[in-house]
A and B are shown apart, each in its own frame.
Chain A
Amino acid sequence: MKLSFEKSKNGRSFPVLPSLDVPKKDLPGSLLRKSAPRLPQMAQPDISRHYTELAKRTHGVNDGFYPLGSCTMKYNPKLNDEMAALPGFTGVHPLQAPETAQGCLEVLFMAERLLCEITGMDAMTFQPAAGAHGEFTGVLLIKAWHDSRRDSNRVKIIVPDSAHGTNPATASMTGYEVINVPSDQEGGVDLAELRRAVGDDTAGLMLTNPNTLGIFDKNILEITRIVHEAGGLNYYDGANLNAIMGVARPGDMGFDVVHLNLHKTFSTPHGGGGPGSGAVGCKSQLEPFLPKPRVVRGKDGFSFATPERSIGNVKAFYGNFLVTLRALVYMLTLGANGLRDAALNAVLNANYMMKGLSDIYDVAYPGICMHEFVLTLENLKKECGVSAMDVAKSMLDYGMHPPTMYFPLIVKEALMIEPTETESRETLDEAIAVLREIRAQARIAPDSLHSAPRHTVVRRPDEVGAARHPVLKYNFDGVGD
């Protein structure tokens, strides 16, 4: 399809802005552009069709099954959006006086209380815009806490080898040295290695539980105790909270700070459909360091306050407010029992799918999984030359989004499947049947899988070429860069 730049015709447009009803004020000449930006010029019907055409090429949760492991692509109830579209919420401005936006402040306050209860934390900020931003904020809190105690020799953050790549990246961005600890035979943290890794230079540990193998680390209390005894703090990456929401709490496992992906676990849109929210919760000893401002309740209602030793702002204002609102709507709709049921069903669905595939695919760490499981296609690749990439791409031809591929890094030819609780048994059965059929195809016609997908608008993009020679801007004057 053509780009909007290619559809552009000089002088074509449609009115977007209302006519000016306030006095016109000119900008100083030094602030003005020398030439107009080369934006596409299109009529409304053309631009409407352009975006509809683009939308038809995507695959979202509203299109079909989306078992992208560790991403929790659950269905987002439409009620969330209806509430977020109420004019009382969309018409507010972050600079208006707090006493004129009490309802909005109450939303933030309520969401904080409920999420603190779910995570076992004492306080929370909604400023971070996404998961990795939340991690960064959380590790800054850990750093501020050590600094406040003049404990400045703590320069290392421990991260297990099954961690999300954002964990070591976060620790590194915050100025820490990353220490990797290997997993044991069962896929959990190797306790002996952890004991060797901790010391008086340990600032903290970053951990996801259940981890990226879909395994709940049964030694979690021992793990957090080892880190605490060494003088470090424990950071919980909330990416996989969907498995334990309403069942177990990071705060009770010994964690001091957590981030939540509201856009995963609490059913608000992801990625391009976002924006996201990486809310960060902490225990009371870290509360004075939280970003400013925070919502507090006094006798005259809700207002903003700055924590006494705040690390400052990590984003403008209060974060992505309407995302927090959607998460609140989700929690209030489901209630305490409903949230617990969601987690239980997420785990049930993952085990159901794993069981339906385990006779023909190798499960990386067999046993009962949590909300996701990892297949290893190493043997399949050796046997018929069909890779995890081939299987994943083949799923597209059946109208399903592929699982996460080649992650976690410690599993060869990995496919990481997370069905989520919102999929029906029929959908799970269909997905199992598709993966079984692809497995059969791999044996009899492996070549057909190398060239999959065949029925999608975009077939197999040249990912290697794109990474080696990325083209990042539109060239107005011809081909090439």
Chain B
Amino acid sequence: MNFPSELSYSKTHEWVQDLGGRTARIGITDYAQHELGDLVFVNLPEIGDEAAKGERIADVESVKAVSDLVSPLTGVVKAVNKEVADNPELMNSDPYGAWLVEIGDISDHEELLGAEDYETFCEEEG
């Protein structure tokens, strides 16, 4: 399983890529896509929506279930990845390329883990 060192991770299995200027992209981790199985649908927010840390920002659907994507950040939705909306399988094949939401004006964030700590966290969960 893949845990890129340049990313930060939430305990609810989202990754965060800091783009600088109080802006970041979030997606689901390799561990998350593995646990969820084949993803078939993603329900993304609208640009301009408020994101609040610890609250649902999007949801992803696998053949088994619908799961919430919890925003690790508080801010405003600046962009959503329409390519993933059209091709949800990208979350399985390239979870770290398939960003889902870009959040700007970030004012707060949850406690985030580094790659090593997140990997340990996943091992404990599994």
Chain A positions within 8 Å of B, measured between CB atoms, are: 165, 406, 409, 463-464, 467-468
Q: Give the distance to chain B from A216, nearest Cβ to Cβ, in Å.
A: 25
Contacts of A464 in B (CB 8 A): 38, 40, 63
| A468 interface neighbour in B64, B65, B89, Cβ under 8 Å | B89
List the A side residues contacting B40 at CB < 8 Å.
464, 467-468
Q: Give Cα A306–Cα B63 distance, bound, in whole angstroms.
A: 43
A406–B64 contact, CB under 8 A?
yes
Contact A406 B65 (CB under 8 A): yes
Bound complex: CA A405 to CA B41 (Å): 20
- The reply on B75 being an interface residue by CB < 8 A is no
Complex-state Cα separation, A467 to B88, whole angstroms: 10
Classify the secondary structure of A's interface with B. helix
Shortest Cβ distance from B38 into A: residue: A464
A463 to B37, CA, bound (A): 12
Separation of A37 and B63 alpha carbons in the complex (Å)? 35
Residue of A nearest to B88 (CB): A468
- When the two chains form their complex, are residues A409 and B65 in contact, meaning their CB atoms are under 8 A apart? yes
Q: How many residues on the B side are at the interface (Cβ–Cβ under 8 A)?
A: 10
Min CB distance, A344 to chain B, in Å?
33
Neighbouring A residues of B41 by C-beta, 8 Å: 467-468
How far is B87's CA from A464's CA once the two chains are assembled, in angstroms?
A: 12
Least CB distance from A375 to B in Å reads 16
* CA gap between A468 and B66 in the complex, in Å: 14
A463 to B63, CA, bound (A): 7
Write out, one digit per residue, whether chain B residues 53-74 have a CB within 8 A of any chain A CB (1) or not (0).
0000000010111100000000
Specify which chain B residues have a CB less than 8 angstroms from the CB of A409 in the assembled complex.
64-65
Instruction: Tell me the minimal C-beta distance from A465 to chain B in angstroms.
Output: 9
B100–chain A nearest beta-carbon distance, Å: 17
- Bound-complex Cα distance A467 to B61 (A): 10
| Cα–Cα distance between A463 and B39 once the two chains are bound (Å) | 11
- Closest Cβ–Cβ distance, residue A469 to chain B (whole Å): 9
> Which residue of B is nearest A405, CB measured?
B64
Contacts of B65 in A (CB 8 A): 406, 409
How far apart are the CA atoms of A409 and B89 in the complex, in Å? Answer: 22
Q: How far is the CB of B34 from chain A (nearest CB, A)?
A: 12
Which residues of chain B (4-55) have a CB below 8 Å from chain A?
A: 38, 40-41
Cα(A193)–Cα(B89), bound, Å: 36
B40 to chain A, nearest CB (A): 4
